[in-house]
């Protein structure tokens, strides 16, 4: 079982809805990430929270907004999404020491925008 | 040219076959090399982690890095149907904790 927990596993929403994806890790990691993955594509980095500092992929539209209530929680707020935003959203965490590139992923939240 | 090139497949092999999965890269700053395995509708999980050129073995899996050719490989011996998944190579430089992913190769091992 993964130590990064994502909820919900599945989400269907309309283009006018507001919803949130949640992610929690209990490994004491200091960095957390949101990735978007479309079918047969690699994960695309959206946001990184590291030592309470947010880094943004500038290509991510403002209808996605991250929130980090504390070092073990990372939320992704969704508003006015488009059908092309339908994808698997992956949360990951990592230590910021030791093995660069070693990420621990959750099982993902599969989002469908109607 | 993309930073990391990986054939998407699918690669279909019979059970028991030796599988070779490969990636090439262009950035010589990459120093850490990883293979992630992703089952359908799940998140990726780290399978192998290597640093510098050479081989690393873990059970039926061997990761190989050739930095001079900018080429990395993952070999799977005695492949099993449970190995059916997408395998993503991932690379990072020493100055970053965020990996650059290949697009993944879909592997199907049929009984």
Query: pLDDT, tens digit, for every residue of B78-91?
Result: 999 999 999 999 99
What is the pLDDT averaged over residues B42-66? 94
Percentage of chain B beyond pLDDT 90 is 86
pLDDT surpassing 90 at residue B41:
no
Burial class, B6, CB count within 10 angstroms (exposed 0-12 / middle 13-18 / buried 19+): buried
Closest Cβ opposite residue A42 in set B32, B97, B104:
B104
pLDDT surpassing 80 at residue B2:
no
pLDDT surpassing 70 at residue A2:
no
The pLDDT value recorded for residue A98 is 77
Query: What band does B1 get if pLDDT is binned at 50, 70 and 90?
Result: low
Mean model confidence pLDDT for chain A: 92
pLDDT surpassing 90 at residue A64:
yes
Q: Could you give phi then psi for residue B84, rounded to 5 degrees?
A: -65, 115
Closest Cβ opposite residue B43 in set A41, A96, A108:
A108
Q: Return residues 28-67 of A near B (CB < 8 Å).
A: 31, 33, 40-43, 45, 48, 50
The string of DSSP codes covering B43-93 is --EEEEEEESSEEEEETTEEEEEETTTTEEEEEESS--GGG-EEEEEEEEE
* Interval B28-38: pLDDT, tens: 999 999 999 99
Instruction: Find, in chain A, the residue whose alpha carbon is nearest to that of B10.
Output: A40
Token pair for residue A78? Answer: 């969704």
Tell me the shortest Cα–Cα distance from B92 to chain A, in angstroms: 6
The pLDDT value recorded for residue B73 is 97
Q: Return residues 70-89 of B near A (CB < 8 Å).
A: 88
* B43:A31 CB<8 A: no
User: Is A98 part of the contact surface with chain B (CB cutoff 8 Å)?
Assistant: no
How far is residue A11's CA from residue B24's CA, in Å, rounded to a whole number?
36
How far is residue A35's CA from residue A92's CA, in Å, rounded to a whole number?
8
pLDDT surpassing 60 at residue A1:
no
Tell me the shortest Cα–Cα distance from B53 to chain A, in angstroms: 16
Q: Name the 3-class secondary structure at B4.
A: strand
The pLDDT value recorded for residue A56 is 86
User: Is A110 part of the contact surface with chain B (CB cutoff 8 Å)?
Assistant: yes
Q: Name the 3-class secondary structure at A88.
A: strand
The pLDDT value recorded for residue B94 is 77
Instruction: Find, in chain B, the residue whose alpha carbon is nearest to that of A88.
Output: B41
């Amino acid at each position: 079982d993964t130590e990064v927990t994502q909820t919900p596993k599945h989400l269907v929403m309309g283009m006018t809805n507001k919803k949130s994806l949640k992610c929690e890790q209990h490994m004491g990691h200091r960095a957390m990430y949101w990735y978007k993955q479309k079918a047969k594509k690699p994960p695309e980095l959206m946001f990184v929270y590291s030592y309470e500092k947010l880094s943004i992929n500038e290509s991510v539209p403002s209808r996605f907004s991250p929130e980090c209530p504390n070092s073990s929680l990372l939320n992704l707020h969704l508003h006015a999404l488009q059908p092309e935003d339908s994808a698997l959203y992956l949360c990951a965490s990592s230590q910021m020491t030791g093995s660069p590139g070693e990420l621990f992923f959750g099982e993902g939240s599969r989002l469908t925008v109607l | 040219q993309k930073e990391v090139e990986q054939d998407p497949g699918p690669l279909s092999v019979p059970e028991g076959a030796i599988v070779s999965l490969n990636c090439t890269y262009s950035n010589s700053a990459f120093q850490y090399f990883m293979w992630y395995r992703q089952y359908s509708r799940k998140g990726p999980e780290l399978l192998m982690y290597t640093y510098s050129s050479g081989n690393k073995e873990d059970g039926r899996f061997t990761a190989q890095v050739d930095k001079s050719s900018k080429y990395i490989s993952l070999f799977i011996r005695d492949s099993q149907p449970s190995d059916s998944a997408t395998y993503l190579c991932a690379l990072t430089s020493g100055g970053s904790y965020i990996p650059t992913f290949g697009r993944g190769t879909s592997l199907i091992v049929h009984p």
